[in-house]
Amino acid sequence: MNIVLAVLVIAVLGGLFGYGLSFAEKKLAVKKDPRVLALEPIMPGANCGVCGYAGCNAYAAAVALGAAPIGLCSPGGSSLDAKMAEIMGQKIEASGDTRRQVAHVMCRGNIEFTTKDYEYDGMLDCNAASLLFAGDNSCKDGCLHLGSCIAVCPVDAISKDEDGYIIVDEETCISCGKCVTICPNGVMQMIYEDSEYVIECNSHEPGGKIRKQCSVACIGCMICERKFPESGCKVEKFLSTFDQSVPHSQIADAAEACPTKCIIKR
């Protein structure tokens, strides 16, 4: 009898509140912009915040209001821009840079190649390690391998392989750039996905110094720039950078000639 009473009381209470709420819902209904309703489901839904808004829905609402331009969403890319423009009845001019970008670690250093200044035994976070003499690597621009980027990635595209290298799954990467921002050494950078070559070093130290610290670093020897002017390589502050915006004819030869082999074919 008691249990029946208990069930009855709770059921009556629940029914009463439920009925009251459904009544209030009708009374207090808020009309939503139909364009917002159309935009919300086509957003990528990663809520990464690269557009500058709190999440995908916030950005959709801002676009519908006309407060934000179409094209701030890098995970969605140009296909999303087209869909959004269709819903909003706008035309978007094709922007110059529609090639997809992915994050990439510009460092090949590891325990084997890179010397250490000290034994780091603290919090497993790159920014924490970086506070102590800019990290345990002798090279102060290299990857610390503690994985702050892994933690910050909204789509779990970054992981550590069995050798301890940080690798980015380029299929999953949504080009939000969060890992680029969190990296204390700036070793995580955005590159074009279809770029054939990449120079995997981030050190601006002169060759004599960096050779002692890391055996796979760019030593700024300028062979790539001087001997292969068509390679697209340019050495600045003892670090060669490869211009990925256009294809270059001599980059394969430059990669061959690089003494530390830090020009990598992807």
**Is there binding between residue 5 and another protein (CB under 8 A)?**
yes
Buried-state track 209-232, b at ≥16 Cβ within 10 A, e below 16: ebeebbebbbbbbebbbeebeebb
Nearer to another protein, 24 or 82 (CB): 24
d(CA 43, CA 131): 38
- 163: Cβ contacts below 8 Å, ≥ 6 apart: 110
Q: Candidates 28, 66, 119, 161: give the one binding another protein (CB under 8 A).
A: 28
Q: Which stretch binds another protein (CB under 8 A): 5-13, 65-73, 167-175, 227-235?
A: 5-13
Nearer to another protein, 51 or 217 (CB): 51
Q: Under a CB-based contact definition with an 8 Å cutoff, are residues 95 and 71 in contact?
A: yes
| Shortest separation between residue 44's beta carbon and another protein, angstroms | 20
Q: Judged by CB under 8 A, how many residues of this single chain contact another protein?
A: 20
Q: Candidates 10, 65, 67, 111: give the one binding another protein (CB under 8 A).
A: 10
| Shortest separation between residue 21's beta carbon and another protein, angstroms | 5
Q: Under a CB-based contact definition with an 8 Å cutoff, are residues 88 and 60 in contact?
A: no
DSSP 29-44: -----HHHHHHHHHS-
**Is there binding between residue 6 and another protein (CB under 8 A)?**
yes
User: Strands, E, within 65-110: which ranges?
Assistant: 101-105
Phi-psi region of 45 (alpha: psi -120 to 50; beta: other; left: phi over 0): left
Q: Candidates 88, 128, 155, 252: give the one binding another protein (CB under 8 A).
A: 128
Q: Is the dihedral of CA 51, 56, 62, 64 positive or negative?
A: positive
Q: 45-84: which residues touch another protein (CB under 8 A)?
A: 54, 58
Instruction: Looking at 52-144, list the stretches that DSSP marks H as alpha helix, in order from N- to C-terminal side.
Output: 56-65, 77-88, 126-131
**Is there binding between residue 9 and another protein (CB under 8 A)?**
yes
Nearer to another protein, 32 or 227 (CB): 32
What tokens does 127 get? 């920014």
Q: Which stretch binds another protein (CB under 8 A): 106-114, 125-133, 196-204, 252-260?
A: 125-133
Q: Candidates 47, 127, 159, 189: give the one binding another protein (CB under 8 A).
A: 127
Residues making contact with another protein (CB under 8 A) = 2, 5-6, 9-10, 13-14, 17-18, 20-21, 24-25, 28, 30, 54, 58, 127-128, 131
